Amino acid sequence: MRITATIAAVVALFPLASLAETLHTKVVILGGGVSGISAARNLTAGGVNDFMIIEARDELGGRAQNIDFADTKVELGCNWVQGLGTNPVNVLREKYGLKTAPNNGDDVVFYDENGLVNFTEAYNTFGEAYDRMSELALKRLQNGQVDISSRVGLDLAGWYPMTPLDEAIEYYNFDWEYGENPEVSSLLYGVLNDEYSYGEKIFGEGSDGDLFVLDERGFKHIFLEAANEVLKKNDPRVLLNTKVTKIAHDDQGVTIHTGTDTIIKAEYAIVTFSVGVLQHRDVQFSPRLPDWKMEGIYAFNMATYTKIFLNFPHQFWDDTQYTMYVDPDKRGYFAAWQNLNAPGFLPKKTSNNIFFVTVTQDYAYQVESMSDEEVKQEAMKVLRTMYGDDIPEATDILVPRWHSNPLFRGSYSNWPIGELDQHHTNLKAPVGRLYFAGEALSKEAYGFLQGAWFTGEETATHIMQCINSKCPKIEYYPMIYNTKTFKERKDFA
C-alpha cells in the first residue's frame, strides 16, 4: 500500500511525464542545416517521403543565419557564395534571386600605428609565393608524398613573414580564409580544397570567384526555398525547437531522445551535427561510437571565425571593401575589417554605417570570453590607432559566439596537418544505421557550403540503396597503421 501510494504521489507531482510522445519514421535527419535540407530533397526525389527533420533552432538553415542590426540585417554565419558556375549554392542563388555584390579581395588598404602603409610589393610577393606553394602541393599529391603544414609549404615556396606587414598580409590571405593559421593547416588538402571549390574542372567556366551576400532575406533564404520544394507549410515531418540529447542505435534502427521528451524511432538516421559538436560530446551516443569513429572525429579541426559588427554615427574609414590593421606585436589581432558602406553594398542610410572585424582561432576564443562592452573597447583601441582619437564611438555592437554555442561549437572545419585520408574516411563512414553528413565530411570541399550540400545528397543516396535493395559497402579503417611498424624503425632497434 505504501509503495502504491508513493507512485500515485509521484504521478500527481509530475503529470508532464505522461505527455512524452513516440514518433516513428523510416529516416530521421538530425539537423536542419544545408546538408540536412540536401538530404531531404534527395530522399524525396528518390521516392522516400517517410522522413523527419529534427532541428534545435526555430528555423531551418543551420549556420546560415542573419539578424537585425543597425536598421538592416547582417549575416552571422556564412556570407559568401564561394565558387560560381554550376556550384549548387550558386545555382540556388541564381534561381531565387539572392542579392549579392562582387567580392574583390584586392580592394584593400593596410594601416599601422602611423597610418596608411605601402603594401603592394609585399602583397604581390606573397601572391607569387602562394601560387608556387599551390604548384608544389599538387606535385606532391601526384607523387604520393606525405603531407606538410602550409607553413612549411610557404617557406619552401620562398615566403616567410619577417615584418608585422608580412604577418598582416599572410593573415589576410590565409587565416582569414581557412580560419586557422598555416602552422596547423594541411598543405596538400588545403590546396586540393581550394582547387576543387573554385575550379573550372568541377563547376565549369567562370567558377573561379565569389560573391558577398547582402540580401535582407538572408543567405538562408535560398536554402529555405530549396527546403520548401519538398516540404509543406508547417510540415509535421519537421520538428523545430527540438534538441537531440541522446542517440541510441543498434542493428535494428535508431532511437532519438530529445529535450522535449519526444522520442523518435527510425530505421536510419543521418547525423549532420558539426564536427565541433561531435568532439564536445554535446549529444550522447548509446552505445558510444567505436574507437575508429572517434579517432576520425577528433583528428579534424573545427575553426572559429567570428565577425564583430560595429555601427557608427558616420563613416570615417576608407571606401575600399577591406581594411587591414598591421599590429606590431599581435598577428591577426582585430586585423581584418570589412566595409558594408562600400560602393554597391548596403543602401546608404544615415543610421547605418557598419564596419565589422573578423577574429579567428585563439582571438576568437578570447573574444567569446569577454563582454560585448569589453570587445567594443578593444576594437575601438585598434580603430583609434588606425584613424586617430577623433573618431566617434560605436553606437551598436554585435558579437556572435559560435565556439561556445552547443549547437555549433565553431564556424566551419579545417583540415589539420596530421589528418590522414584514413582518418577522414572514418569521420565520414556510417556506424551501423547511423549515417553522417556535413561540410566537414567532404574531402574536397570541407569548410564550404557546397561540401555540406554534396554530403547530404550522397548520404541520402546511400540510405535509399539500403531501403530499396542492399546497403552499399562503405570503407572504413578499424585500425590505421604507419608504413613501418614500431619494431621496424632502426632508431628503436
Helix ranges (DSSP H) in 344-438: 361-368, 372-387, 421-428
Rounded Cα distance, 235 and 52, in Å: 9
Cell digits of residue 184: 596547423
Cell digits of residue 18: 505522461
Question: Quick check: 23 and 263 in contact, CB under 8 A?
Answer: yes
Ligand-binding site membership of 185 (annotated): no
Ligand-binding site membership of 20 (annotated): no
Phi/psi of residue 121, nearest 5 degrees: -65, -50
Rounded Cα distance, 266 and 205, in Å: 43
Rounded Cα distance, 399 and 407, in Å: 17
Rounded Cα distance, 185 and 177, in Å: 11
Question: Quick check: 64 and 219 in contact, CB under 8 A?
Answer: yes
Ligand-binding site membership of 369 (annotated): no
Ligand-binding site membership of 56 (annotated): yes
Helices (H) and strands (E) in the chain, counts: 16, 22
Is it true that the peptide bond before 347 is cis, omega within 30 degrees of 0?
no
Rounded Cα distance, 273 and 96, in Å: 27
Rounded Cα distance, 203 and 415, in Å: 22
Rounded Cα distance, 211 and 104, in Å: 9
Which H/E stretch holds residue 389?
Answer: none
User: Of 452, 472, 454, nearest to 463 (Cα)?
Assistant: 472
In terms of Cβ atoms closer than 10 Å to its own Cβ (0-12, 13-18, 19+), residue 256 is buried
Question: Quick check: 287 and 254 in contact, CB under 8 A?
Answer: no
Instruction: Count CB-CB contacts under 10 A for residue 195.
Output: 18
Rounded Cα distance, 234 and 77, in Å: 25
- Counting other chains too, the contacts that 384-389 makes at CB distance below 8 Å and 24 or more residues apart are 385/113, 385/325, 386/111, 386/112, 386/113, 386/115, 386/323, 386/325, 387/111, 387/316, 387/317
Q: Report the greatest alpha carbon distance in the chain.
A: 89
Give the residue numbers of the binding site for FAD: 35, 55-56, 244
Residues annotated in a binding site: 35, 55-56, 244
